[in-house]
């Protein structure tokens, strides 16, 4: 028999889509929602915890006989005061020390810790098999040479940014770096750069995984909402890393890209 799957759910659509896939496959699921991150109106979680309640979360997962675990969905990183860590969380933070400074370093440490607790951590695409981007063009629109040059520059900048464990996204317009992603997230980056746009051809959003990325959690993600926000900000296209980006609802992404006149492509990134 297939073991019960635990889903530690943050924000966004992916946790719900994984749940739907498990229900269709007849697999039992236990959903542990993160308060202030996942939306209780759209996610019917079995239990809820604060980000600082790792001890209680592990107990809930064990009581539910969870063996395999997916950690998915966006999470807004709190301050220590907001975190209010329980004893288990405080011990974990003390153990990892400065490695908690970067998002990928922290998530890698969390993943290792959950495996030490006996859970098998798997990637979301292990359930949603078409979630991971393959090298292709999504929709009818393709980048011209100016856009391809902006993409090349964006990839180079994003790799430096990622090597410092800062962010995964860059916006480039006509060779100028308009903005890089930090704590605000991709949507806020796009909106900010919309106010900085230059005259002429619009900019390009480039999203790639960080060097050394823990690829079972926190891969870059795009969906229909990303397309709509990019179009509203005057961008002309989006380039994502093939094999390193999650695409939520491909058909809707293609429809949104075609309707807005944006190109969306997944490209191979030489690592």
158 and 107 share a domain? Answer: no
Q: How far apart are the first and last CA of the chain?
A: 38
Asked if 193 contacts 171 with a C-beta cutoff of 8 angstroms, the reply is yes
170 and 76 share a domain? Answer: no
Q: Is position 230 within any domain?
A: yes
Q: Is position 34 within any domain?
A: yes
Last residue of a domain, one of 91, 126, 161: 126
Other C-beta atoms within 10 Å of 101: how many?
A: 10
Q: What's the pLDDT score for residue 100? A: 57
Residue 121 makes CB contacts below 8 A (sequence gap 6+) with 68, 69, 70, 71, 111, 114, 115, 216, 217
CATH number at 116 reads 3.40.50.20
Q: 27 phi and psi, to 5 degrees?
A: -95, 135
Average model confidence (pLDDT) for the chain?
Answer: 90
CA separation for the pair 200, 207 (Å, rounded): 22
Tell me the sheet residues that pair with 68.
5, 120
Query: Which candidate, 110, 81, 80, places its Cα nearest to that of 95?
Result: 110
142 and 241 share a domain? Answer: yes
141 and 120 share a domain? Answer: no
108 and 198 share a domain? Answer: no
36 and 111 share a domain? Answer: yes
142 and 122 share a domain? Answer: no
145 and 246 share a domain? Answer: yes
Tell me the sheet residues that pair with 207.
169, 240
Q: Is position 12 within any domain?
A: yes
Asked if 48 contacts 41 with a C-beta cutoff of 8 angstroms, the reply is no
What pLDDT digit, counting tens, does each position of 233-247 carry? 999 999 999 999 999
Rg (CA), the chain: 19
What pLDDT digit, counting tens, does each position of 25-58 carry? 999 999 999 998 999 998 999 999 998 898 999 9
Q: How many domains does the chain have?
A: 2
Out of 35-49, 68-82, 187-201, 227-241, least confident range: 68-82
Looking at per-residue pLDDT, the higher value among 112 and 144 belongs to: 144
CATH number at 217 reads 3.40.140.80
101 and 185 share a domain? Answer: no
Last residue of a domain, one of 126, 152, 170: 126
Q: Is position 232 within any domain?
A: yes
CA separation for the pair 30, 23 (Å, rounded): 11
Query: What is the average pLDDT across 111-140?
Result: 92
What domain range is 98 assigned to?
4-126
Q: Is position 131 within any domain?
A: no
Given a cut of 90, is residue 93 above it in pLDDT? no
Q: Is position 85 within any domain?
A: yes
148 and 259 share a domain? Answer: yes
Last residue of a domain, one of 108, 126, 144: 126
157 and 109 share a domain? Answer: no
Query: What is the average pLDDT across 220-236?
Result: 95
158 and 58 share a domain? Answer: no
Query: Which candidate, 212, 271, 220, places its Cα nearest to that of 244?
Result: 220
């Amino acid at each position: 028999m297939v073991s019960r799957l635990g889903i530690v759910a943050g924000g966004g659509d992916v946790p719900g889509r994984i749940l739907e896939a498990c229900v269709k496959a007849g697999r039992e699921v236990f959903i542990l929602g993160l308060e202030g991150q996942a939306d209780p109106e759209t996610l019917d979680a079995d239990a809820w915890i604060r980000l600082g309640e790792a001890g209680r979360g592990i107990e809930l997962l064990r009581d539910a006989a969870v063996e395999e675990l997916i950690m998915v969905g966006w999470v807004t990183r709190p301050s220590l005061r907001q975190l209010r860590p329980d004893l288990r969380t405080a011990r974990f933070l003390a153990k990892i020390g400065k490695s908690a400074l970067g998002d990928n370093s922290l998530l890698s440490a969390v993943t290792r810790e959950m495996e030490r607790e006996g859970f098998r951590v798997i990637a979301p695409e292990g359930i949603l098999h078409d979630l991971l981007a393959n090298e292709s063009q999504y929709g009818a629109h393709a980048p011209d040479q100016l856009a391809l040059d902006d993409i090349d520059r964006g990839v180079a900048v994003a790799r430096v940014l990622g090597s410092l464990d800062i962010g995964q996204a860059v916006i480039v317009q006509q060779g100028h770096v308009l903005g890089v992603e930090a704590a605000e997230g991709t949507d806020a980056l796009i909106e900010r750069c919309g106010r900085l746009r230059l005259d002429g051809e619009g900019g390009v959003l480039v999203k790639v995984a960080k060097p050394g990325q823990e690829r079972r959690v926190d891969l870059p993600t795009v969906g229909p909402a990303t397309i709509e926000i990019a179009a509203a900000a005057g961008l002309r296209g989006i380039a994502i890393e093939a094999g390193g980006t999650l695409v939520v609802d491909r058909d809707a992404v293609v429809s949104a890209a075609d309707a807005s006149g944006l190109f969306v492509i997944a490209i191979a990134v030489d690592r």
